[in-house]
Each structure stands twice: as structure tokens, then as C-alpha cells.
Amino acid sequence: MNNLYLKSFIRCKRKAWLDYRGNKSYEIWSPHQSIEIVNRYKNFHKLCEGDLYTGKKACQKGTSGVIGLKVKSKLIKNINAEIHPQLLKKVSGKSKWGKYKYIPVVYKLGYRTTKEHLFDLAFCSILLEPFQESKIEKGIVLSNYSNHINIEKIDLNHRLRKKVSNLYLDLNEYLKGSIPEITKERKKCMICSWQKFCDAEAKSNGYLTEIDGIGSKTALLLQQNGISNIKELAAAKKNVLGDKLFQFKEEKFEKASKFINQSKSYLSGKPIKLYEKENLFNLLSKKDSGFFIFDIESNPDEKHDFLYGFLKINNLFENIEDDFYDPILNLNKNGKKSQQEIFQKLTSKEEWPVLHYGETEKIVILNLARQINLDSKQIEILKSRFVDLHLMIRRSWILPIKNYSLKTVAGWMGFKWKQKNVSGSKALYWWIQYKITSNDIFLKKIIMYNRDDCLATLHIAKWLIKNNKKIN
Ligand code: SF4
């Protein structure tokens, strides 16, 4: 048993169990995890100024950083324990190797330092101290925002060590038992390698958290009120349910109606039309004028949008030719050339609307417009050209799906991406690979993915228009 299971256990008890005892053929590759590993080594390399080697020999030699070390020992109650520290950093002190010692370092993707980081450091220090014959007072959480390395020193005190030892005992007990339940906080599942496996079980059991908008708190509230699965939710009465959903205040009846309809649609597999006309009218009135479809790929950690993809559509139902799509690459952050190209593109058809999915695209373009000093009137005109299909679909339809992401919605409408199992995280992974290798194959994959995202957005626009006609 090692610190990696402990890390999983902190995130989700079931994940630790599956990592240890699950059938690996159900596990899927997680781009998020791969991005973390790639970034981790890049930053460890920087922190140690390249003096980074593996294993015990590196410790004996006293290199600045040590990776790939495994240390085994017995913990309280004679339980076997093993650590695979992400990085050991040399600091001044005294150890069995000489006038230096090592302290553990963990890499953090994102802004928050969590229990996962603190416990990992504390657990590693417990086994590392006897191994190097030296005390460890501090550990490091390393992060990198906008190419700037941040070092956060963590006090590895007695309280933290005690907590992590107790948690390790808990982990050992859990792993002996049967598979734990799916976590109530399903947001965690988004980046988990067992997501598909758990989704299938949640679906077959009709868990309330399968319904869009129902998180762990709402699910608990519903359960306390006698509604424990999707079937029961679908059969609920709007007024009775609304009274129970007091946390949503004046929106409680609207929420009740939404949850009931979403459950009905989920169970029947049939979409439900909502009578919200304003937005759809906006799209319908613009469909014959020609328009752009716009989609961005970005690296949120570095606040870098590396690709702006434009699809040019003269008529909604014409065949799409290759030259309709224009990928504007922004290889270096804040590249002026890409900014110019974007605004040339937008002003080439000033009256054309810009269709997009989700709010990011509009926010990014308006920020760029401010950077190039467009005046407030020009910005207002630009703003009015954006048509958010995500907002539109949510306001006008309830679909028999778990969430309203581009992949889920367009996938349900029958759109197929050319590359298998793609996602924004995978595109980011390719981007990181491109930055390391300069191999154009990764750029090609990103471009193909972005083009498909634009086509998926177009597919949704067509579906909205076609089905609006059918029903009205
Ligand atoms: S998919 Fe969710 S419930 Fe399943 S192991 Fe991962 S985090 Fe836990």
C-alpha cells in the first residue's frame, strides 16, 4: 500500500478501492492526469535547475532533486507502507549521506492547496525520516502560474502526521471491504479515470445526481424528503416538490419543474420543448444572413488561448468545404498577429453573427477588443453579434442527457468527432506535447479537434432550427 492510494482515498474512497482492486480494463486514460505529470516534471526540472536524477544513488550523490524513489517501511500497528515521493529536494542539514538532507515536494495543478497535497507531504515525511536518518520539518507545494514558479512551504507538524496516519489505517480497512458507493460529489468524477465505469452504475441505479443541476446537497435534501431515485423524482408533483426545495427561495417551483421534466426526459429518452421563443427567434432571424462559428482552445493555467477556430457559413444548410474553416494559431501568448487576424476576420463580414457554445468565446473576444482600444459603441455592436447556443439550448429544450456540455449535447444529436475520446483536456495535453516536442502532428490533432467542435456547434444550430419548425 502506498501514498498514491492514499491520495486517491482522500479524493474518493471508491477510487482508492478501484485503483487497488478494480478491473483495470474499465479504467480510461485521463488527459488531466497526464497533463499533471508532464507539467510536474517540467517544473521539477526548473526547480532543481536540471540537477534531477532517479533513485537511491541520486540521494547518495546528493543531487539537487530526486525522483522515482521508493521507500518501504512498517507503520503503526505493523502495517506495511510504501512511498513514491513526487520529488525530494535537497536542503541543508545532516543525513546519513552527509551534510544535506531531502524534503518532499508535491506539484499542484490549479490554485488550491488541498488535503491531498498536505497529507501526501506528511505521509512521505513519516517514512523518509528513518530512511535518511534526519528530521523533516517542512515540505513544499510547487505550482506554476503564467510561467512563474510558486513555492509554498508547509509545516509538517505532529497534528498533520497523526491525521494522515489515522487516515492510512482507515484506507487499509476500506480496501479489505466491498466496493464503496459512488461519491455524492460527482464533480470529482469529471477528471477520474473510472468515470465511465461509475457513470454506468449510477445510470442503472437511477441516482439523483445523474440529473442536470442536482448536486450532492440537493440530492440529500430530496432523499430526506422521500425521493431517492430518478423514477421517484419524475413522478413528483411540482407544487409539493417546490415546497421542499426551499433552498432555491423564489426559484423553488421553477427548479422543481425543471428537475421533474429533466427526470422524465432522462427516463423516456425523449426531449421536451420549452416555450422560450425570444432566443430561438434571434437565431432564426439570422440563419440566412451567413455567420461565423467560433471556438477557442486554451491553457487555463497559463491563461493562454492557443487556437481561435472560425468556421465561415454562408448558408446554414450548405455543404461544408475545407476552406470554410480557418484556424488562427496563437503560438506565443499575447501574439499581436493573431489578434489582428481575428479582427480582420470579424470585420470582413460586419453584419454576420458569431455562433459559439458557452460564454468563454464571447468574453475572450470582448477582452481582446478592449486591448486594441475599440470604443464602447464598437464593443456594444460586437457584443450583439454573439449568439450563445449553450444558453439557447438550455432555455428552449430539456434533453435526455446528463449534462449540457458541447460533447454531450452534439453527441446526443448524432454528431461524431473524427478523433475518438477527445475533449478540451486532451487538446490541452496535445498542446503541451507540442510545446515540448515542436512536433506539428500535435498541432494537426488540435486543429482537427477544434474544427470538429465548430462543426458540432453548427450541428446544434441546425438541430435547433429543424426541431423548432417541427414543433411549431
Ligand atoms: S468516477 Fe467518481 S465515484 Fe467513481 S471512482 Fe472516480 S471519483 Fe469516485
Give the integer Cα–Cα distance in Å for 472 and 257: 22
Q: How far is the CA of 197 from the centre of ligand 1 (A)?
A: 8
* Percentage with pLDDT > 70 across the chain: 96
The pLDDT, as a whole number, for residue 472 is 43
Mean pLDDT of 128-142: 96
Give the integer Cα–Cα distance in Å for 386 and 361: 9
Give the integer Cα–Cα distance in Å for 452 and 457: 8
Domain boundaries, the chain: 3-176, 206-270, 278-471
Same fold, 3-176 and 278-471: no
Cell 525520516 sits on residue: 129
Report the range of poorest mean pLDDT among 10-14, 300-304, 332-336.
Answer: 332-336
> Which residues have C-beta atoms less than 6 Å from ligand 1?
12, 14-15, 18, 182-183, 188-189, 192, 194-195, 198
When pLDDT is cut at 50, 70 and 90, the band that residue 300 belongs to is: confident
The pLDDT, as a whole number, for residue 277 is 62
Mean pLDDT of 354-363: 96
Question: Which residue has the CA at smallest separation from atom 4 of ligand 1?
Answer: 198
Q: How far is the CA of 155 from the centre of ligand 1 (A)?
A: 30
**Ligand 1 atom nearest to 183, measured from its CA:** 3
The pLDDT, as a whole number, for residue 111 is 85
- In one-letter notation, the amino acid at residue 421 is N
Question: Which residue has the CA at smallest separation from atom 5 of ligand 1?
Answer: 15
pLDDT for 343 beyond 90: yes
> Hey, what CATH topology would domain 206-270 get?
DNA polymerase; domain 1 (1.10.150)
Please answer whether residues 316 and 159 qualify as being in contact, where contact means their C-beta atoms are separated by less than 8 angstroms: no
Q: What is the mean pLDDT of the chain?
A: 91
The pLDDT, as a whole number, for residue 279 is 60
Its CATH architecture, for the domain 3-176, is Alpha-Beta Complex (3.90)
Cell 492547496 sits on residue: 113
Mean pLDDT of 122-130: 95
Which of these, 330, 396, 387, 380, lies nearest to 358 by C-alpha position?
A: 387
The pLDDT, as a whole number, for residue 184 is 85
CATH superfamily, domain 278-471, is Ribonuclease H-like superfamily/Ribonuclease H (3.30.420.10)
Q: How far is the CA of 423 from the centre of ligand 1 (A)?
A: 18
pLDDT tens for 163-182 read 999 999 999 999 999 999 99
When pLDDT is cut at 50, 70 and 90, the band that residue 282 belongs to is: low
Helix axes 440-471, 278-286, angle to 10 degrees: 110
Which of these, 144, 59, 437, lies nearest to 51 by C-alpha position?
A: 59
pLDDT tens for 18-72 read 999 999 999 998 888 888 888 899 999 999 999 999 999 999 999 999 999 999 9
When pLDDT is cut at 50, 70 and 90, the band that residue 351 belongs to is: confident
pLDDT tens for 216-247 read 889 999 999 999 999 999 999 999 999 988 88
Residues in contact with 162: Cβ distance below 8 Å, sequence separation at least 6, in sequence order: none
